[in-house]
């Protein structure tokens, strides 16, 4: 078993730390945010993520030696603000944020650089620093040079978890990427990472327990691919760019349907049946948001520009624009549905998180639309099962309702902005008794339009006819 430190315990790091402890490693999680730490030190999730509470609780399990907390007992999983505790570990995961810079599209590398600076005095020869944060191509090679004088090595191991499925994705990822200095299988970092991920790499029927599997090998539970730093960094950015492009592609088709006539949902079903295309990520609607996709495609454009190959990814500018245009269209569609004027209209906003099963509102399309509706003169009343607190912190001026009944009561219109199951499956008959006007604008194209119409509602959706 490996002694691991995890630097940065947000949506990525807290789940990674708890997951690593759950498979038997000894883990010390380090963060600088005292509020977050207060929760983590008590083994409580600092944010909503299904399954994280159970994993953290399991991490409280005592072990016989190592990882002593302030009370002198030894736990499998500990959280602290004291970076010097990382000296006890030999593998150090960097999981800090790389948000969009304040004044440009580029990734802000301040947190990664300061995390490495803070860690450096505690590194020993033979240690491995493992980057998980999403960084611009070229960063890992620079950081490897920086840590070299300590005798430690560096690997880049990008993370692909989806918020809302983070525990499952961390414990059972589709693939594991090792970006290592030599780019080859015999790099010493590979054996260290194989020990960390032994639970994923153990062969199934074809391999004896304890054997590691490599990509494509029969019996390997999770494929792992060894590559150079640059390819590893690009795998993450390319994957996010591809997903963003697929979403914006269908949203561009929605724009066409709105003008030319046509139904984007039927179109998506039809093209999605082509196995080369596939139906996933083809749901037309309000588009993508969150702490990853938008800032990652912008950072990719900025990095390509620095490298002099801006043209190679200039299509991503359009992907971003299509995505942002959907938010304006959602406001226009709501105005149209309410007879051309939003002023003084009470609008129930269902969902404010950037997607269901998370409380994350970073770059949330729902929050953006709610703000635009309010600016257009409407009185929005927002509800969400998990994200109200975070949304209120970002925008305290808006009105929030703790439950659906309060949000729907007396509404002149309903807008569905985040497809939480309880909103998708809302009973139109019961909801119809609460609202003042039975008008719903479905920003995610998820409600049963026929059931709503049968219950007397007017239903509008992005990319669909009335
Ligand atoms: N959230 C996701 O779904 C996801 C998925 C894959 C990759 N990523 C990438 O992972 C990285 C982290 O994302 P996140 O969503 O977890 O961000 P986050 O903001 O939730 O968490 C970052 C954490 O790092 C802490 N931190 C900052 N500087 C520190 C320092 N010097 N020492 C210790 N802690 C420090 C912050 O206090 C914060 O808790 C980003 O690069 C992101 O692009 C995120």
For ligand 1, whether the C-beta of 159 sits within 6 Å is yes
Using the predicted structure, report yes or no on whether residue 215 has a pLDDT greater than 80.
no
For ligand 1, whether the C-beta of 167 sits within 6 Å is no
Tens digit of each residue's pLDDT (9 = 90 or more) over 268-325: 999 999 999 999 999 999 999 999 999 999 999 999 999 999 999 999 999 999 999 9
Q: For the residues 163-187, what does the mean pLDDT come to? A: 97
Q: Which two tokens stand for residue 416?
A: 């569905």
Closest Cα to atom 13 of ligand 1? 97
For ligand 1, whether the C-beta of 157 sits within 6 Å is no
Q: Beta strand pairing status for 91-94 and 77-80?
A: unpaired
DSSP 423-443: HHT--HHHHHHH-SS-EEEET
Residue with tokens 């730490």: 37
For ligand 1, whether the C-beta of 290 sits within 6 Å is no
Residue (of 200, 174, 163, 199) closest to 51 by Cα position: 163
Using the predicted structure, report yes or no on whether residue 265 has a pLDDT greater than 80.
yes
Q: How many CB atoms lie within 10 A of CB 230?
A: 16
For ligand 1, whether the C-beta of 355 sits within 6 Å is no
First to last CA, the chain: 60
Could you tell me how far CA 295 lies from the centroid of its own chain?
Answer: 11
Closest Cα to atom 35 of ligand 1? 8
For ligand 1, whether the C-beta of 15 sits within 6 Å is no
- Asked whether 397 and 379 are in contact (CB, 8 A), the reply is no
- DSSP code at position 51: T
Closest Cα to atom 25 of ligand 1? 8
Dihedral pair phi/psi, residue 151, rounded to 5°:
90, 0
Closest approach atom of ligand 1 to CA 292: 43
For ligand 1, whether the C-beta of 108 sits within 6 Å is no
CATH 3.40.50.1820 fits 3-222, yes or no: no
Half-sphere exposure of 425 (CA within 13 A, CB side): 3
Tens digit of each residue's pLDDT (9 = 90 or more) over 324-334: 999 999 999 99
- Asked whether 279 and 269 are in contact (CB, 8 A), the reply is yes
- Asked whether 105 and 57 are in contact (CB, 8 A), the reply is no
Closest approach atom of ligand 1 to CA 118: 31
Closest approach atom of ligand 1 to CA 47: 20
For ligand 1, whether the C-beta of 359 sits within 6 Å is no
pLDDT at position 64 is: 61
Burial (CB count <10 Å: 0-12, 13-18, 19+), residue 126: exposed
Q: Residue length, the chain?
A: 466
Give the whole-angstrom CA distance, residue 109 versus residue 136: 9
CA 459 to centroid of ligand 1, rounded, Å:
39
Query: Is 292 annotated in the active site?
Result: yes
Give the whole-angstrom CA distance, residue 466 versus residue 463: 10
What would the CATH number be for the domain defined by 228-466?
Answer: 3.40.50.720
Domain boundaries, the chain: 3-222, 228-466
CA 211 to centroid of ligand 1, rounded, Å:
32
Give the whole-angstrom CA distance, residue 88 versus residue 47: 27
| Pocket-testing residue among 11, 18, 359, ligand 1, by greatest number of atoms within 8 A of Cβ | 11
Q: How many CB atoms lie within 10 A of CB 10?
A: 18
Buried-state track 279-318, b at ≥16 Cβ within 10 A, e below 16: eebbbbbbbbbbbbbbbbbbbbbbbbbeeeeeeebeebee
3-222 and 228-466, same CATH topology: yes
Closest approach atom of ligand 1 to CA 12: 16
User: Which residue among 9, 95, 257, 292 is the active-site one?
Assistant: 292
Look at phi and psi of residue 456 and say left if phi exceeds 0, alpha if psi is from -120 to 50, else beta.
left
For ligand 1, whether the C-beta of 105 sits within 6 Å is no
For ligand 1, whether the C-beta of 7 sits within 6 Å is yes
H and E: helices and strands count for the chain: 18, 14
CA 364 to centroid of ligand 1, rounded, Å:
17
State how far the alpha carbon of 378 is from the alpha carbons of 166, 349, 403, in Å.
Answer: 36, 11, 20
Using the predicted structure, report yes or no on whether residue 205 has a pLDDT greater than 60.
no
| Pocket-testing residue among 6, 8, 131, ligand 1, by greatest number of atoms within 8 A of Cβ | 8
Q: Which two tokens stand for residue 108?
A: 């802000």
pTM summary value: 0.94
Tens digit of each residue's pLDDT (9 = 90 or more) over 389-439: 999 999 999 999 999 999 999 999 999 999 999 999 999 999 999 999 999
| Pocket-testing residue among 131, 292, 298, 393, ligand 1, by greatest number of atoms within 8 A of Cβ | 292
Tens digit of each residue's pLDDT (9 = 90 or more) over 149-163: 999 999 999 999 999
Tens digit of each residue's pLDDT (9 = 90 or more) over 38-89: 999 999 999 999 999 999 998 887 776 778 877 777 789 999 999 999 999 9
């Amino acid at each position: 078993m490996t002694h691991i430190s995890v630097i940065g315990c947000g949506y990525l790091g807290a789940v990674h730390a708890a997951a690593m402890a759950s498979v038997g490693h000894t883990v010390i999680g380090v963060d600088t945010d005292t509020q977050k730490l207060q929760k983590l030190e008590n083994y409580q999730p600092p944010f909503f993520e299904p399954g994280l509470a159970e994993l953290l609780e399991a991490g409280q399990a005592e072990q016989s030696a190592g990882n002593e907390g302030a009370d002198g007992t030894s736990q499998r999983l500990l959280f602290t603000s004291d970076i010097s505790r990382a000296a006890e570990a030999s593998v150090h995961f960097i999981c800090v944020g790389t948000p969009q810079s304040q004044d440009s599209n580029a990734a802000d590398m301040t947190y990664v650089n300061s995390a490495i600076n803070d860690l450096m005095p505690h590194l020993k020869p033979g240690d491995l620093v493992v980057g998980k944060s999403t960084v611009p191509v070229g960063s890992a090679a620079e950081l490897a040079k920086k840590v070299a004088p300590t005798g430690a090595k560096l690997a880049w191991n990008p993370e692909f978890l989806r918020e809302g499925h983070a525990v499952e994705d961390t414990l059972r990822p589709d693939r594991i990427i090792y970006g290592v200095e030599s780019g080859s299988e015999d790099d010493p970092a590979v054996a260290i990472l194989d020990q960390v991920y032994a639970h994923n790499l153990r062969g199934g029927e074809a391999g004896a327990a304890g054997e590691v599997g490599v990509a494509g090998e029969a019996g390997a539970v999770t494929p792992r691919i060894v590559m150079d730093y640059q390819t590893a960094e690009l795998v993450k950015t390319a994957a996010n760019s591809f997903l963003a492009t697929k979403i914006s592609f269908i949203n561009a088709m929605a724009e066409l349907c709105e003008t030319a006539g046509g139904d984007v949902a039927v179109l998506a079903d039809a093209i999605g049946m082509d196995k080369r295309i596939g139906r996933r990520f083809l749901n037309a609607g309000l588009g993508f948001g969150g702490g990853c996709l938008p800032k990652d495609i912008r950072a990719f454009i900025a990095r390509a520009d620095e490298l002099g190959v801006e043209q190679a990814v200039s299509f991503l500018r359009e992907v971003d624009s299509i995505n942002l245009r959907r938010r304006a269209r959602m406001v226009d569609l709501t105005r149209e549905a309410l007879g051309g004027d939003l002023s003084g209209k009470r609008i129930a906003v269902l969902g404010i998180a950037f997607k269901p099963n998370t409380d994350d509102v970073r770059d949330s399309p729902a929050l953006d639309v709610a703000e635009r509706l309010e600016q257009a003169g409407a009185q929005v009343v927002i509800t969400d099962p998990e994200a109200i607190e975070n949304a209120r912190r970002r925008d305290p001026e808006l009105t929030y309702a703790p439950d659906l009944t309060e949000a729907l009561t007396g509404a002149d219109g309903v807008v569905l902005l985040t497809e939480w199951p309880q909103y998708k499956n809302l009973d139109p008959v019961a909801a119809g008794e609460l609202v003042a006007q039975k008008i719903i604008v479905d920003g995610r194209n998820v409600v049963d339009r026929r059931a709503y119409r049968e219950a007397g509602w007017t239903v509008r959706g992005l990319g669909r006819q009335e």
